[in-house]
Amino acid sequence: MTSFKQNFVCALKLTLLGALLTVLGGCAATLESAPPDVSSAQPLGVVPASELDWRKLPPPDHTLANFRPGETPDYCFDRATQPYTAVVDSHFHPKPFGGPAMDAQLLWDTFDRLGVRFVNYFGIGQVLELDANCSYYLDCPGVSAIPSIKNDFVNGLEKAAYDPDKIHITLSMTFIDLAHAERASETIALYDKEFPGMFTWSGELNMMKQALLGNNAEPASVESIAGWADFMEIFRERGVPVTIHSDLGNDAEPTKFLHLMDHALESYPDNKIVWAHMGLSKELTTMDAREHVRLMSERLDQYPHLYLDISWDVIYNAYHRWGEIFIPFFNQYSTRILPGSDFVAAASKTWENYAHELEVTSRALRVLDDEAFRNIALGQNYFELMDLPYEAPVLCTN
């Protein structure tokens, strides 16, 4: 059944059965991330997918000033009247793989109107060959996608013109080729010269991205991870987090590539490493979510500097029963989770497209407990990870 039909049928069942949703199995999963057994601070009820729509979200009432400690002491964030979408987008790509991008001013206005106050500007680590005239790698197999400084420099120049009173942008170094990183520190020196102090994050770097293999991307190996030593030392000294995309595996072999991330974590346990998409991908959609959560928990327990990013609508779309398993996990590890959209701002996209993806990737946040909501959705983790002079606002006690 297509997901549209499935959604429609599920919505119908929901309308008819109302409170019996919790026993509907797959339908509950498609439509609703609220699990029946979440011990949430507030009764969240059951909401059909038709209600979960960015167009129905209230306008945000905050500005950056509300995140600066002491500046607005009377402000509190009211979950009952404010959108549940994240104020942080820790995984955002302002430029496409190739071709034209969305207008920068339009992007900033979009963040402002949707209440996204903190954004990581990730380059596309793999710009497609410039003469290929292709904006998405899957549309042009065979065209090489190789890590490069191009996107980062454009992002660096663009950031200089934004309004720092409305949005806080973090620039990210995305040029590093994890299969051949021995000389990355030389390029970091170039960034230091051209953009002093401006690039304070790194990633998204691809260790193993199966979807890119058709574009001549070379995955890292256990051997090449040893070659990260120089740049990882610089990042550790500077406290620079690095977001790594590393597929856990695929449907045939769900943990096929786990050894790569394990080796990176063992090799660089003192570096802040953010595992993009929790290792999930389009290639891995049938894994037992409980097993997935068990693997993630083990590693979070073992490596205190490991974080997970829950960006990309693939995660929401693929895991039909994800709420029941993932929400308690997010609540439990709420200091280790970062929200993000993984939006790629090609010129063909509109601000409404971003609003939609932000809402979909924020659905889990809607049903988090209050502490987890403040840590994840309101940015407290992000501020602490980056040592930024911001603080998540307190929640209103109605």
Structure tokens at 72: 């607005």
Q: Pick the piece of the chain touching Zn ion (CB under 5 A) from 23-31, 174-182, 336-344, 364-372.
A: 336-344
Query: Which lies closer to Zn ion via its Cβ, residue 262 or residue 357?
Result: 357
Query: Are the beta carbons of 338 and 310 closer than 8 angstroms?
Result: yes
Q: Pick the piece of the chain touching Zn ion (CB under 5 A) from 2-10, 135-143, 198-206, 249-257.
A: 198-206
Residue nearest to Zn ion (CB): 342
How near is the Cβ of 33 to Zn ion at its closest, in Å?
Answer: 21
Spatial distance between the Cα atoms of 148 and 133, rounded to a whole number of angstroms: 17
Query: Which lies closer to Zn ion via its Cβ, residue 48 or residue 123?
Result: 123
Which of 177, 283, 324, 342 binds Zn ion (CB under 5 A)? It is 342
Query: Which lies closer to Zn ion via its Cβ, residue 123 or residue 328?
Result: 123
Residue numbers 129-168 binding Zn ion by CB under 5 A = none
Spatial distance between the Cα atoms of 218 and 224, rounded to a whole number of angstroms: 11
How near is the Cβ of 204 to Zn ion at its closest, in Å?
Answer: 5
How near is the Cβ of 328 to Zn ion at its closest, in Å?
Answer: 26
Structure tokens at 327: 């929400």
Query: Which lies closer to Zn ion via its Cβ, residue 204 or residue 369?
Result: 204
Spatial distance between the Cα atoms of 244 and 147, rounded to a whole number of angstroms: 13
Count of residues that interact with Zn ion, criterion CB under 5 A: 2
Burial 200-220 (b: 16+ CB within 10 A, else e): bbbbbbbbbbbebeebebebb
Query: Are the beta carbons of 67 and 391 closer than 8 angstroms?
Result: yes
Contact between 204 and Zn ion (CB under 5 A)?
Answer: yes
Query: Are the beta carbons of 100 and 154 closer than 8 angstroms?
Result: no
Q: Pick the piece of the chain touching Zn ion (CB under 5 A) from 58-66, 203-211, 227-235, 313-321.
A: 203-211
For tokens 């903190």, name the residue.
Answer: 118
Q: Count of alpha carbons within 13 Å of 330, Cβ hemisphere only? A: 35
Q: Pick the piece of the chain touching Zn ion (CB under 5 A) from 180-188, 247-255, 314-322, 334-342.
A: 334-342
User: Which residues form the interface with Zn ion (CB under 5 A)?
Assistant: 204, 342
